[in-house]
């Protein structure tokens, strides 16, 4: 199962969103045949979906796509899921993200992925990290306490992987890594169930396509 969220050390962020355009109308006029061609116009913003009556912007989809390695329709669907998770998580006071967490997350992300600095604007990255951090804090507060991995669970996982294999890793050496992996799997399952519930309740309208 692919995680829906960035690593916790990277996705602790908060930023004030940059102003968004409410819409634009383009006008065209005839020009003489010998007139110089107009420069190409690059689309910098548009609405790609409306999620519970709130617009989802192309810049937000592109930021998520760049950081998580997604393209086209999967990027839009991931951004819709993120929007739904964030809308609920933001209502929890414990999920508020401090400015120092925002700055630390941005620094960590750019240190790990320096190519993003030229590919995405800082406001777009900060908005992404703010949403992700809020969701992560919500997940830690709501779902982490529900995750319980017993010693028996760890032993069964170890036996399935190592028992009877010549030169296998002893249980005591593998226990910590196995427990961590089982906890992450259980947490991912709870997040998936949460997202499915949010999708059932949501009103989502997609507008156009996003290029691959």
116-175 pLDDT tens trace:
988 899 999 999 999 999 999 999 999 999 999 999 999 999 988 876 677 778 888 889
Domain assignment present for residue 170? The answer is: no
Domain assignment present for residue 192? The answer is: no
Work out the mean pLDDT of the chain and round it to a whole number. 81
Nearest one of 154, 22, 133, 8 to 82, comparing CA atoms:
133
73-104 pLDDT tens trace:
999 999 999 999 999 999 999 999 999 999 99
Query: Could you tell me the pTM of the whole model?
Result: 0.75
Q: Within 13 Å of residue 17, how many CA atoms lie on the same side as its CB?
A: 10
Domain assignment present for residue 189? The answer is: no
Domain assignment present for residue 95? The answer is: yes
Asked if pLDDT for residue 15 goes beyond 80, the answer is no
CA distance 175 to 151: 9
Residue range of the domain that includes 138: 47-146+199-206
The predicted structure's pLDDT at residue 3 = 56
Domain assignment present for residue 171? The answer is: no
CA distance 76 to 57: 10
Asked if pLDDT for residue 27 goes beyond 80, the answer is no
Domain assignment present for residue 65? The answer is: yes
User: How many structural domains does the chain have?
Assistant: 1
The predicted structure's pLDDT at residue 161 = 83
Domain assignment present for residue 7? The answer is: no
Domain assignment present for residue 154? The answer is: no
């Amino acid at each position: 199962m692919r995680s829906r969220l960035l690593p916790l050390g990277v996705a602790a962020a908060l930023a004030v969103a940059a102003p968004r355009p409410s819409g634009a109308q383009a006008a065209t006029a005839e020009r003489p045949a010998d007139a110089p061609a107009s420069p190409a116009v690059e689309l910098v913003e548009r609405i790609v979906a409306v999620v519970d009556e709130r617009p989802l912007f192309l810049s937000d989809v592109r930021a998520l796509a760049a950081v998580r390695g997604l393209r086209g329709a999967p990027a839009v669907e991931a951004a819709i899921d993120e929007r739904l998770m964030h809308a609920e998580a933001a209502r929890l006071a414990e999920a508020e993200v401090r400015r120092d967490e925002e700055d630390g997350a941005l620094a960590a992300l750019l240190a790990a992925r320096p190519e993003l600095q030229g590919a995405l604007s800082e406001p777009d990255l900060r908005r992404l990290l703010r949403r992700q951090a809020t969701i992560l804090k919500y997940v830690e507060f709501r779902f982490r306490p529900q995750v319980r991995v017993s010693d028996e669970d760890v032993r069964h996982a170890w036996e399935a992987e190592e028992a009877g294999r010549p030169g296998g890793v002893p249980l005591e050496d593998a226990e910590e890594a196995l427990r961590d992996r089982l906890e992450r799997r259980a947490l991912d399952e709870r997040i998936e169930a949460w997202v499915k519930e949010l999708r059932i309740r949501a009103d989502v309208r997609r507008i156009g396509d996003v290029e691959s």
